Amino acid sequence: MTAYDDQNIFAKILRGEIPSFKVYEDDDTLCFMDIMPRTDGHCLVIPKTPCRNVLDATDAQLASVMATVKKVANAAKAAFEADGITLQQFNETAGGQEVFHLHFHIHPRHTGVAMRAPGQMGDMDAIKRHAEAIAAALD
């Protein structure tokens, strides 16, 4: 497997080298908004320690990330009065991964509403409001 590259965009977010809209963090994980949201409330959960994806993550990294995914998913469902939540997670280029630091996508979903196409930059004011709404709904 290719080695972890600490110049990936999420590593830079973790180091504070580029900005992000933070939703939640604890000792082991960070949740922030995706800047090309495919749903309102689309956010990402990452471990604070390096790994490319599920294939090289330790059990401890996966456990801490999944605990945060569950916590934020419930908050996002409440904040957006969503009917459900879609989780996405991609591994290596052939698996659809573009940023090589483990992450889970959280999407609040409403019945009958499709996800938007990928790769479209979102409205930063709306993304900021959405981050605040999810954060406010956390336990």
Q: Which residue is nearest to ligand 5GP (CB)?
A: 36
**Selected binder of ligand 5GP within 26, 55, 87, 96 (CB under 6 A):** 96
Q: Identify whether 130 is a catalytic site residue.
A: no
Helix (H, G, I), strand (E, B) or coil at 69: helix
124 and 132 Cβ atoms separated by less than 8 Å = no
39 and 115 Cβ atoms separated by less than 8 Å = yes
| Residue 35 lies near ligand 5GP (rule: CB under 6 A) | yes
- Quote the CA–CA distance of 105 and 112 in Å, as a whole number: 20
**Selected binder of ligand 5GP within 23, 30, 32, 72 (CB under 6 A):** 32
Residue written as tokens 């879609």?
86
| Residue 39 lies near ligand 5GP (rule: CB under 6 A) | no
Contacts to ligand 5GP by CB under 6 A:
9, 20, 32-36, 90, 96-99, 103
